Homo-oligomer: A and B are copies of this chain.
């Protein structure tokens, strides 16, 4: 099977969106951004052996390739629309491709995202997804915008993906039901797209937590030229995390990364509405701290003592 047959068999699916004039099958795709809207674009690369294990179920690789990009769009408050895919595979493995596509298209369909273009090549397994969406002009959430006194929120629970990795690496030992639960958080992150859209008019700043809360809140306060005080006792930790807290401490929640939750800030006056939206969307939203004028982040533990995260969050090439 050559690349043209491969694309036709696995990737060239009927266009479902009215704003796609031309999808896969030409030199480029044609799409229409509604008047009065800004285009929002993000790209993420997943490399086998770095972002996922070579032997990982390709269903989760397909899911995650879409999810991590959806999470970036969610952090901007954007509505997802179109994807392009760069796929490098060592060989044409029908089963691998079928499961990859099943994971990829299931999540894409859930958010009405059409795959409109791509490129495939032979080489070391690498997946690059570029995702586009849109926001009404001037309404996008950004990392800058947080002001002193704003509340700091996070969605979902923090650190479960990190727990899964620690379990896989033998650093902690979880019973099967807990291992399954945290593995799900690692393999099938649930991007907070609807939450991001609802926050457009409410949040003062936002970022997605892909490198860990400490690092990503750090990016947010740096861009916003403010500081933050975070109460560790308020960090939303899962039951498996709580059960192993003595072994793990705060590190997985603060620095392991791969959570794909949102961290956002909002004026205190919006607190009731944010709580109400969280209920409507059935997404946990937890206030974890407050933005300060001092340009530093302080983590305060249960006893009121300052806590310094031991690691700085995930970054490639760090020696």
Contact = CB atoms under 8 A, between A and B. Distances in A.
A76 interface: yes
A298 interface: no
Interface in A1-60: 1-4, 6, 21-22, 25-33, 35, 38-51
Given A3-B315, A75-B28, A316-B3, A123 B122 contact: no
A3 B3 CA distance: 32
A233 B119 CA distance: 33
A143 interface: yes
Contacts of A116: 41
Contacts of A25: 143, 223
Contacts of A50: 121-123
A192 to B, nearest CB: 12
Interface residues of A, number: 71
A85 B43 CA distance: 8
A27 B145 CA distance: 14
A50 B137 CA distance: 42
B45 A41 contact: no
Interface string A101-118: 000000000000000111
Q: How many identical chains are in the complex?
A: 2
B43 A39 contact: no
Contacts of A135: 30
Contacts of A75: 27-28
Contact of A30 (B2, B6, B49, B76): B76
Contact of A26 (B31, B46, B47, B76): B76
Contacts of A315: 2-4
Contacts of A29: 40-42
Nearest to A72: B27
B208 A132 contact: no
A86 interface: yes
A130 interface: yes
Contact of A84 (B43, B87, B122): B43
Contacts of A35: 35
Contacts of A305: none
A265 to B, nearest CB: 14
Interface in A68-113: 71-73, 75-76, 78, 82, 84-88, 91-92
A96 B185 CA distance: 37
A66 interface: no
